[in-house]
Amino acid sequence: MNKITKHILKNFIETFNPIFFSLFFMVSIIYFIRIAKITSIIKITFIELGELYIYMLPRLLLYTLPVVFFISIAISLSKMSKNNEISIIFSFGYSPKKLTKIFSILSLGITIFLLVDAIFLIPISKELYHNFIDIKKAQAKLNISSMKFGQKFENWFIFINKSDKKNSFENVIMYQKKKKQENFILANKANILNNKGTLELSLKNGKIFTINKKNIKQTKYKNLDIFNTQNTQVLGSKGVISYWKKALVDKKRAKNFVILILISIFPILTFLLSISIGIFNPRYESNKAYPYIFTTILLYYISIYSFTSSNPILSLIAIPILFFIVSFIFFKNKILKRY
């Protein structure tokens, strides 16, 4: 890597970092507000708050990285153009094609990363996020306290004499009435456990009484598990293939898939355009980078959300072709013919 390439990359990184972290911070605040709304329904600890934020990271990266990459190329090159650095670089024989090669490699790498993020990480994190919320909602419904009557676990009425710590109880009495019999369960100790998304009441050292008109049966046990299958229906992750396979029959899922793909490939489609926007001759041209940047981003995202609603498959083909052709024509006429 020669000094000119290092200098170009240095300017790009110095522009990229503050923009990325600023935008990422602002978007993070929006997602934290969304998480905060959940706390009105369920109680979560500070560590669990961090866990929810981690589940949202793939989406945060997808919504910020493509835009920041495009902006950073244009602004870094416009700053160099304003200081006549680009004109000097080209006068030393450093051709626009070499400049294009640098950003083509970067844009390809970021595009591949974003595609992996969109196709694999986002579905997994989304399911983990919803599973976490479902489990917490189920636990909130099963907030069993000591010395209270009328509490239920599954189809059992439950009374707790003592609660020594969270989800751990002593001297438990459970009652269930059926048509022809009544059931009692006594336990010295009990714990509520999360068994792969299904809440489980684990009883230890107790007795079971079955009472009907004819007799009373008594059974001793050391360990007895009762699963709360009605209130907790957390399915866990079905896998990426199953998640996207639903797009074949679900229009909403198909639209979501196309939108994620189009956002992911934004860097590779528009890096030529961002180079063209950034490079100008300060003697004869004014710096119009910012209007061009916001116009391009606005048009691209409007195109995505407008056309994918009517025809997702056609949008996945038409939008990339259209923006790549526009980028190439703009680059050819503005850069290659002049430099």
Q: What is the mean pLDDT of the chain?
A: 86
Q: How confident is the model at residue 144 (pLDDT cuts 50, 70, 90)?
A: low
Q: Which of 74, 12, 76 has its CA nearest to residue 274?
A: 74
Sign of CA dihedral 271, 276, 281, 286: negative
Angle at 263 between CA 261 and CA 269, to 5 degrees: 95
DSSP line for 138-172: HHHHT---TT-SSEEETTEEEEEEEEEETTEEEEE
pLDDT at residue 127 greater than cutoff 80 = yes
- How far is residue 252 from each of residues 58, 237, 241, 312, measured CA to CA in Å? 20, 19, 16, 10
Q: Which of 327, 233, 223 has its CA nearest to residue 277?
A: 327
What is the reported pTM?
A: 0.78
Asked whether 81 and 282 are in contact (CB, 8 A), the reply is yes
CA dihedral 259, 265, 270, 274 (to 10 degrees): 100
Give the per-residue pLDDT at 100: 93
Q: Which of 221, 217, 206 has its CA nearest to residue 173?
A: 206
Structure tokens at 217: 């049966």
Q: What order of strands is seen across the sheet that includes strand 182-195?
A: 151-153, 156-165, 168-177, 182-195, 198-211, 216-227
pLDDT at residue 193 greater than cutoff 80 = no
pLDDT at residue 195 greater than cutoff 70 = no
Dump pLDDT digits (tens) for 246-298: 888 888 999 999 999 999 999 999 999 999 999 988 887 788 899 999 999 99
pLDDT at residue 233 greater than cutoff 60 = no
CA distance 226 to 200: 6
